[in-house]
Structure 1
């Protein structure tokens, strides 16, 4: 059982500036109002294998999730880039894929977010059927806010 949503934000900044914001894990708590704190678990530049713990406020609660970069292609030579971040928590796998594409002198940043249950029980399937649409609406709202905040930061660089 998968839940998936895709949103796109046009940003009036070049792909390199957008990438600088998307890949700035230590600075994401200052950029994204929903992120309370970041704890880096690996050293070095943003790349496949970069790991961190992110504490995020959602529905009035704070949740800490370990996240890692599973795919990374920085923009180069005027071409867009992409990165995939994964997380696993509470019997679910989460995937966030950011894709950058140049358009109209700026960059379209597309975020595809997906969640899938790793070992669904009958109860979890019922709960997903009943509450999944609400959870997806809440998630879309939070992701749209993240994209707008990434845009604001990238446009200020």
Structure 2
């Protein structure tokens, strides 16, 4: 199993960040790596909710990914699952309010665990482990930066 964890302080209240993270149709508006989102289940956002994200890559090189909500404890913890080719992923978002200046601030930690599910996944983990971890870290940092921009001062003030 491989685990990558990154954190950032975002000048926004946890409830506002939670709304951004759980508004599935809007994900493509603020996540630069996502080109489109297709919600696959009916009803509100809760454990069992599934959706497909199509990457925002002009060459179409990456395949769409499906995600499922495994756990949702508003506005503190969101756990997502995704099955890959030979690897299952678990992405955990944790939001913790911190006091900074006059405005609300939230420490956001995102952790991705990759669990090989077959021989192909185990071989890839051995061969590409460090390289893959660095790529995942970069992607998670980009997602946190995108979240910070989406929650920008004017937007988070409106949501407060």
Task: Give the TM-score normalised by the residue count of structure 1.
Answer: 0.87
Task: Tell me how far apart the structure 2 counterparts of residues 136 and 63 of structure 1 sit (CA, whole Å).
Answer: 19
Number of the residue aligned with 1:135 = 132
In the alignment, structure 1 residue 55 sits paired with structure 2 residue 50: no
Q: Which runs of 5+ in 1 are unaligned?
A: 76-80
Give SS of 1:49's match: coil
Residue 57 and residue 138 in structure 1: after superposition, are their counterparts in 2 closer, same or farther (change >3 A)? farther
Contact 1:57 1:63 (8 Å CA) reproduced? no
Task: Tell me how far apart the structure 2 counterparts of residues 56 and 113 of structure 1 sit (CA, whole Å).
Answer: 18
Offset at residue 57 of structure 1 (A): 4.8
In the alignment, structure 1 residue 70 sits paired with structure 2 residue 70: yes
Give SS of 1:90's match: coil
Number of the residue aligned with 1:101 = 96
Number of the residue aligned with 2:144 = 147
Task: Tell me how far apart the structure 2 counterparts of residues 18 and 126 of structure 1 sit (CA, whole Å).
Answer: 37
Offset at residue 21 of structure 1 (A): 0.8
Offset at residue 151 of structure 1 (A): 1.3
In the alignment, structure 1 residue 114 sits paired with structure 2 residue 113: yes
- What does the per-residue CA deviation read over 1:17-54, in whole Å, with 9 as the maximum and x for residues that have no partner? 11011111111111111011111101222111110011
Aligned length in residues: 148
Q: Which runs of 5+ in 2 are unaligned?
A: none
Contact 1:6 1:113 (8 Å CA) reproduced? yes
Runs of 4+ residues deviating >6 angstroms: none
Number of the residue aligned with 1:13 = 12
Give SS of 1:45's match: coil
Offset at residue 128 of structure 1 (A): 1.8
- What does the per-residue CA deviation read over 1:93-137, in whole Å, with 9 as the maximum and x for residues that have no partner? 10000001001231011101011111235xx43432221111111
Give SS of 2:63's match: strand
Higher helix share: 2
In the alignment, structure 1 residue 92 sits paired with structure 2 residue 91: no
Task: Give the TM-score normalised by the residue count of structure 2.
Answer: 0.86
CA RMSD of aligned residues (A): 1.6
Offset at residue 6 of structure 1 (A): 0.5
